[in-house]
Amino acid sequence: MSSLLNIGSRSLNASQGTLGTIAHNIANANVPGYSRQEAVLSTADGQYTGSGFFGRGADLTTVRRHYDQFLTSAVQTNTSLAASDSARAGALAELDGVFAGSDTGIGAVLDSFFAAASDLANRPGDASARQSFLGRASQLAQRVTVVGEQLAELGKLAESRLAQGANQVNARLSEIKALNSQITASLGSGHTPNDLLDQRDMALQGLNSLMAVSTVMAPDGGMNLFSASGAPLLVGAQQALLQAANDPADATKLGLQLKVGPTTQWLDADALGGGSLTGLLRFRDEDLAASLNQVGRIALVIADRFNAQQKAGVDATGTVGSPLFSVADPAVQPHSGNTGSATVTASVTDSSALKASDYRVDWDGTNYTVTRLSDGQASSFAAFPPSLDGLKLSASLGMAAGDSFLVKPTLHAATSLTARPLSAQQVATAYAVMPQAAAGNKGSAAVSGFQVIAPQTADTTRSVTITFDTTPPISYTIDNIVGPPLDTLSGVLYTPGDRIPAAPATYNGWSMVIDGTPVAGDVITVNPTTSPGTDNRNALALGSLADLALVDGATLNESYASLIGDAGVRVQSARDAATVSAKLQDEAVARQQNVAGVNLDEEAANLLRFQQAYQASAKIIQASQTLFEALLAATGR
């Protein structure tokens, strides 16, 4: 009777444990990261008798977790990729919002500004036209600055998310460290702590959503974690600390610093390998930097070319034009690890040649290397490079091997363009001098183009006379020009349509083009402008800047359109990448869930099957009790 009772008792316990496991599966069917569990039954060892071996029922050996290491690893990898693409796409959507409105962008204000310049050329003597031009200039500067500030604010927002993400990484590492301790202790019992393993996998997935992590299992069941670059994040009880700190190459922005014991290292996007932190870093350092630099380049070109054109003319009082705009100069940031005492400065010499990029200058003790960060193009120089891409660079003595400097030609210009407070009379609509053919000329020679090229050397007090001599070949004599050794040139050959004088020379700071055929004795004079308040020649030159290739081979409007196009391509490509990576993640999760997920229909069927087994086991116990009572009755006890 005792054998029958033992078999029933064992069977009852096994069925009860199986029912408990099934109930646990059903209860956790919708819990993220839960892996289906299964009660493992085994046949109890048989008992030998003279009549043979008799079975002793079944035992509940353990509870097994349905888990596939490779499928789970694929989920972790795809989580990291999807989080990176999603973070970058989300940040770029915010960037797209800055440029989305056609009425609030820079292009519309540029059009209004050039329209005001055209109206100014038509009515140079009208004070309202002059004031309208200044108002449009102020509006343009404000719009460029607002766009730049909005972009800069996106950079600050990305950095706040980086700091928050670093804190979340530390929290996840602490969570996994604590779970490692619990799992290691639980494995000492000889059974697998399934729920703790699920919790650790979910914590690891949360960590991968922040940064890519590789794992190495320890013999005691603990999990060691490493970054994509191989940096130790969690090894045994030693946990690294990730924090946002000032970037050593650029103290104006935050970088991610990993502290492992007494050592520290900096993690860039490649070192992170994936996760939302990678997406945020790529957005800030690539996408946002490209837009900011392009806006900054537009601001620099606007200030440089309009100020130069203002200076080429005179205002209503005959005074050389004052600058119309102000903008920040290029900035240079030394690396915090520099050991030398040298300083580097940069200035713009040719705004039309500027690239929308920052530069890094490195000295290895023998050569200087200048790297354009937008495309990675590097140039080496034995001596300090004097100029590059429209920039003039200079360095003081004291450079030490290994020193590095970050040059930012355009980045700060995006947020600093301002219109100077000029009066209406200070708009330089006129040129200081005016060419005119003499009334008695008999030939067809006439001035077809006139430019003030070097206003700083222009002499507005002299009347210059050009007298033609048609004795072949045609030549001319020019009198009263400035400067040594002579103020008269004779026998200068004349060809219709040529620039006079030939580039790059000027006469008293100006040059002109003469067309037609002169007759001997014909005269063209260049006299000081008598009515600068009504002269529109420099106003026409201001308006013509709209059609000139001022920005690396493009007009201002074309440059802004290129900026919008570049941002749009980045937004769309990031959106497509996020869609693809999210789909890959979903597929990886689906494959993993086919193995580890809970099927409620299957669990319901198992519930009925083991419920019947439980009831049958109870019947065995009931039967053994009845037999035992009958035996007692038969013996008279």
Q: What are the residues whose beta carbons fall under 8 Å from the beta carbon of 200, sequence distance 6 or more?
A: 176, 179, 180, 183, 223
**427 and 130 in contact (C-beta within 8 Å)?**
yes
Between CA 206 and CA 204 the distance in angstroms is: 5
Between CA 383 and CA 401 the distance in angstroms is: 13
pLDDT score recorded for residue 629:
67
Residue 213 is which amino acid? V
Which of 220, 243, 240, 219 is CA-nearest to residue 230? 240
Its sign, for the CA torsion 154, 159, 160, 162, is positive
Positions of the chain with pLDDT lower than 50, given as ranges: 1
pLDDT score recorded for residue 166:
96
**22 and 603 in contact (C-beta within 8 Å)?**
yes
394 phi and psi, to 5 degrees? -145, 150
pLDDT score recorded for residue 42:
84
pLDDT digits (tens, 9 = 90+) for 582-610: 999 999 999 999 999 999 999 899 889 88
C-beta neighbour count of 116 within 10 angstroms: 23
Name the E strands within 418-577.
418-419, 433-437, 446-452, 464-469, 475-479, 488-493, 499-500, 510-515, 523-528
pLDDT score recorded for residue 104:
64
Which of 305, 341, 345 is CA-nearest to residue 325? 305
The answer to whether the predicted template modeling score (pTM) of the entire model surpasses 0.85 is yes
The 3-state DSSP composition of the chain as helix, strand, coil percent (nearest 5) reads 45, 25, 30
